Amino acid sequence: MIDFEINKKKDCMGCYACSNICPVNCISMTSNAEGFWYPKVDYDKCVKCGKCVDVCPVVNKIMLDNSPCAYACINKDESIRLGSSSGGVFTLLAEHVVADGGAVFGAGFSKVFEVEHSFVETKEEIERFRGSKYVQSKIGDTYKQAKDFLEQGRKVLFTGTPCQIGGLKSFLGRLYENLFCMDLICHGVPSPAVWKKYVEYREEKVGFPIQRISFRMKNEGWKRYSVSFLFEDNAEYQQTLDKDLYMQAYLKNICLRPSCYACNFKTLHRQSDITLADFWGIQNVLPEMDDDKGTSLVFVNSANGKSMFDQIKDKILYKEVNINKVVSYNLSAIKSVEQNPKRKKFFEELYKLSFDKLVNKYCSDNIIVRAKRKAKFVVCIALKRMGLLSAVNKVLRGY
């Protein structure tokens, strides 16, 4: 008997590699009470081949010794940049692949605004993958689909979280020259069940279905981005990240997958060819590339990644930066977030309280934290009026 029981939830990140590799389709991915997917084996169908264990990227962890380099990047096309989470680099890489007859895999919204992986083959379709989605994406059968394209000799760009890229590489089992992988610096993935509850909450508040969602509207700038819901009556909800209920829960680390608090893929030595992220700290590292419209941080991790990057150089403004320095502003690249001590209670009441009451109960700052934040904000405003910009930046780093 092959032992495929997951005793600790932190040991499974829901990458779907085991369900994709199973030759008799006896593994299904089912949601638990928290809304996260875990493999379930039908042992009546199981042929005891052991492929599910052999393919697990946590059990069979790959250690790399590559030497990544880092760049600050801005897409020269202002419209693409403003419609992207940061500097608009993903679109250029995706367009290059589809122009060469390839397929691009990424995370997009379904018709009911669940987040799921799929693929596109035209320039016009790339937009569905543009922008951040702060929800765990359902991989489904996309590893199998990507392999089919690769076996046909077509180029494939597969984008996802570092653990999803790890799952894909483990599933494929060998190198493909026509495969390009791109991951991101991941804070952690929230529960699809929490996201669904929030979507339903917003629709109930307005009384109309949603027609568009954006996590990263730049109306008030890139650093203070807004969450936006456009409803079918053309009413719009828009709120900055610090005031939006869902983003409060996300940033409080209260609704993330258990594996995110002990992530096996936090490293600068990544399996992806390219890593994308927001260039937080750009105002201190390269102020000349900070106009608050979005700047991408790009890690080039491999020879394949360098080839990809070279193909888009003429369409971006870029400058190489010290990778260790920039990571100090984005520690999620190398360090897991701390689990919120109220997480268990939060999920226990997920289906008992309305979304606003749930978040207000478990995610509100205490009076001391609120007072400190207000004091820092007042100091920043005063320093800015006095023209002491360097002092402002210093305070902002701790804000």
Strand pairing class (210-217; 226-231): antiparallel
Confidence at residue 396, expressed as pLDDT on a 0 to 100 scale: 46
Confidence at residue 65, expressed as pLDDT on a 0 to 100 scale: 87
Strand pairing class (274-278; 296-300): antiparallel
Residues of the chain with pLDDT under 70: 1-7, 366-399
Confidence at residue 1, expressed as pLDDT on a 0 to 100 scale: 39
DSSP, collapsed to helix, strand or coil, labels residue 41 as strand
Contacts of 381 (CB under 8 A, 6+ apart): none
Q: What is the pTM of this model?
A: 0.90
Query: What residue type is assigned to position 259 of the chain?
Result: S
Pair of tokens at residue 77: 């096309």
Q: Give yes or no for a contact between 323 and 70, defined as CB atoms under 8 angstroms apart.
A: yes
Q: Percent helix, strand and coil across the chain, each rounded to 5?
A: 40, 20, 40
Confidence at residue 78, expressed as pLDDT on a 0 to 100 scale: 94
Q: Which tens digits make up the pLDDT trace of 267-325?
A: 999 999 999 999 999 999 999 999 999 999 999 999 999 999 999 999 999 999 999 99
Pair of tokens at residue 327: 């990571």
Considering the chain, what is the average pLDDT of its residues? 91
Spatial CA neighbour of 337 closest among 245, 222, 227, 257: 257
Which domains does the chain show, CATH number per domain? 9-55 (3.30.70.20), 69-189+256-333 (no CATH), 192-255+337-364 (no CATH), 368-399 (no CATH)
Give the count of alpha carbons within 13 A of 340, CB side only.
Answer: 23
Confidence at residue 385, expressed as pLDDT on a 0 to 100 scale: 65
Pair of tokens at residue 287: 């102020």
- 72 sits in the region (left: phi over 0; alpha: psi -120 to 50; else beta) called beta
Contacts of 176 (CB under 8 A, 6+ apart): 150, 156
Spatial CA neighbour of 299 closest among 73, 92, 68: 68
Tell me the chain's radius of gyration from C-alpha atoms.
21
Confidence at residue 399, expressed as pLDDT on a 0 to 100 scale: 40
